[in-house]
Amino acid sequence: MITTNKVAIYVRVSTTNQAEEGYSIDEQKDKLTSYCNIKDWSIYNVYTDGGFSGSNTERPALEQLIKDAKKKAFDTVLVYKLDRLSRSQKDTLYLIEDVFIKNDIAFLSLQENFDTSTPFGKAMIGLLSVFAQLEREQIKERMQLGKLGRAKSGKPMMWAKAAYGYNYNKERSELIVNELEAIVVREIYHLYLEGMSITKIRDRINDKYPKKPAWHYRIIRGILDNPVYCGYNQYLNQIYPGNHEPIISEEVYNKTQKELKIRQRTAAEYFNPRPFQAKYMLSGIAQCGYCYAPLKIIMGMVRKDGTRYIRYECYQRHPRKTKGVTVYNNNEKCHSGAYEKHVLESYVLQEISKLQNDVSYIDELFSDPDTASIDRESYQKQIDSLTNKLKRLNDLYIDDRITLEELKEKSLEFTTTRAHLETELENDPAIKQQEKKEHMRQVLKAEDILSIDYEQQKILVKALINKVQVTAEAIVIKWKI
């Protein structure tokens, strides 16, 4: 039972209930005050919300009551009827459990004789929570049905802001193409289908179309994933035809999705760690210089002193007849010899050590007279010119000096030409070679390969070398250049 010193009375009425018998503000106050007098309870305050719906908790007096409850200004809350506190089971449960009981405040509803200080009242809270959960599920279901109906009717899913490239017309409930942003969207799709990575697209778009917040990887990826750009809406992983104008064709969108999947699969295969690492330094890169089959490790019997020889030899030195095994050189016998493991590996390590100790060796590796560079300055001038033309084109459209169709036509022409030039510039053979050269320099900055352990040596060797071709006369290293 309640033993109380201070009672907070809460009364509420909505405009539609104002005249109902027993529900007026004054009648609620009278009955609750009389009850307190009978119980000899002290009234701390009467909180009154006149003309407010009980469907939510956004009511001035209720909000003040919650603040005072958290200060523990009273020890009991009294209402005339449960629905005066709230018409939502979910909100009622929140107020009783998370506001009142949490602050050691009892709750009493006069009409239902609901008293949280009694065993029956506590049991009723559990029942109330069941109905509150049911109410939440019903609300969720109604919202989903409403959104599904909107998606099926082709209307935009506007519980969030419009996708970049569109403005939302609230009166007509439709998406309108933002022509300036649409240029950026088309360029993102174009660059991706040209083979550029999302990271490089992000950097390029940040340079050419800076905005706040800046372009991030996930924003670019989100644009490439979003079917809204080809005229569709998405809801619960289902695609529905939209009523809005597409920015790109459905064909371009589908090609992009296919390319995204291909790159994801390739990345997964490339970056997945192998289940095991090769035990020997040249496993996988040592190659016979006669028949080009891989070299494998062979071991001799253990000698009396505990040692044994370990050699690399050609796979085809002893052709295999077992069905299903991998063969090389039409499974013909190779007459190459076997090569001492320590001799081959020492030679490779010495060659890498030379590169580490004398950078002129690196320059010699990359001195290919056949590598021709493009005229980068000329290309850059053309790119800058096209960028300025695009900016002027946008200004002309804003000033109504060209039509929308002219803007689209010229924008596509300039953007396509510029993207082609940028790709050529990016793939400049001389620059690519310089990048590889710089990569090799960075790798070679590691500790002297002759001073590190065998496991570290293996990593460095594999990072620098594609193949080590071996014959009786020579060892030829094919560097990653």
Q: Which residues are catalytic?
A: 14
In 389-407, which positions are buried (b, 16+ CB within 10 angstroms) versus exposed (e)? bbeebbeebeeeebeeeeb
Are 34 and 106 within 8 A, CB to CB?
A: no
Q: In angstroms, rounded to a whole number, what is the distance separating the alpha carbons of residues 113 and 131?
A: 19
At 337, list the tokens: 């010899």
Q: What are phi and psi of 118, to 5 degrees?
A: -100, 160
Are 100 and 107 within 8 A, CB to CB?
A: yes
